[in-house]
Structure 1
């Protein structure tokens, strides 16, 4: 069956989904995107993703062509039409297509809104049990990483380097410190049982799963520090892990070929994953 996508007000077969070659998302990466997880046919932590979508759009003065309520309705309709049980819903908003290519914002142009689904068994993914290797790469991105922009070339290059190295993720390094992963937030558990992840700022994307995991950890009275950490500190840690909508909580077992902790997923990481899955199922819509 040809999956169903949503393009500017219409549900269409994915193979027939099209936007103009003059769309500013294509020409300038002038757009914002979000990815929400789907578990048991329901959206996970979606309100957080839509709030981040609205914030990112505001940072680049781009208006939504639909209300947030309508966007969630479309997400749910796509899940139903595609009979999606587990996976993700991707959405993208661009500044639309003008009659030509001009850097300045066009006037009187309706933004483009597209969505599609992808099947993925996040719960039972093999890497969830084995953990993943990570490599390090320089962070060459722009300085507004808090905006979830579709301009992802630096992340593409980082993820390709990881793939070529047989790793599952790349951690990006700036001034000797980890910013975040190519598509995830980075965490370590110190020898003193403190969870450490970089604080939110323009230097990283404010991860929705990261936010939820921190709240869940604090509710269980785990010690948390939001600050940068180095690769040396990560390699001396008990455990390391990554979080994202398409991973939930995933162990990092090595960095640049050197083991983290025992070189296997650690008990705290595994427990946090269990807690997050419980939260996801309890709050899904």
Structure 2
């Protein structure tokens, strides 16, 4: 918003602020300038984005302008829009997000899509589903929302992440359908006792050296442990593949999100373990390898 010293205007309408902020964001290198301007202004006013245009000629009061100006300042400092508004849509479900959890990405919906046919197959027996490293709870909540007849479990090593995930489940009336526990990968699972029909995970898979090359809003604001997959990016994926078969029933499914260039390495790891069918690689909406699905041998 223009400084008072350079602009003597007392009032700004909603549409004028959307247009000015769009130009300001674009001039500062933000790719989604218009949508971000609308999202932040709607958040500042506590309305829906469509309401901005239904009330486009409404002037903003001083307090409203101050709130919006603060959001603009924070966005230009690199804070992600989702953290500024505290929400992110995933699978058409609005989820609370904060710096304790990774912001859900559209490509992770490909993981949900990949396993839904397995859950939708009628067997007459409820399947047991585990989400390892649940973060905001996006994956497990989407699955429980679509297929409520199964038993769901979610774990994360971060208690703050679990608090956020449970809040999201509660918002959508799903908290009672999901059991939550804190632990690092399989450390909280009893050996040879915890048996599941499906294990899903979106583990950290970015190479350590590549973290500093990410966009500042990701590199400087999202939780690094949820991004850093070790020097080769495979530590989390490797660990899960090597241990998951111990906790899957015969014919159980393991589904993992991975980096676009990790399919060959992941297949090599799975082959070395020798407990799974050859992984099926699924591409994301951009045509990049993104999800691996494998079945535990009977």
| TM-score category of the 2 structures, normalised to the smaller one | under 0.3
* Larger RCO (CA under 8 A, 6+ residues apart): 1
TM-score by structure 1 length? 0.26
**Which has a greater percent of helix?**
2
**Which has a greater percent of strand?**
1
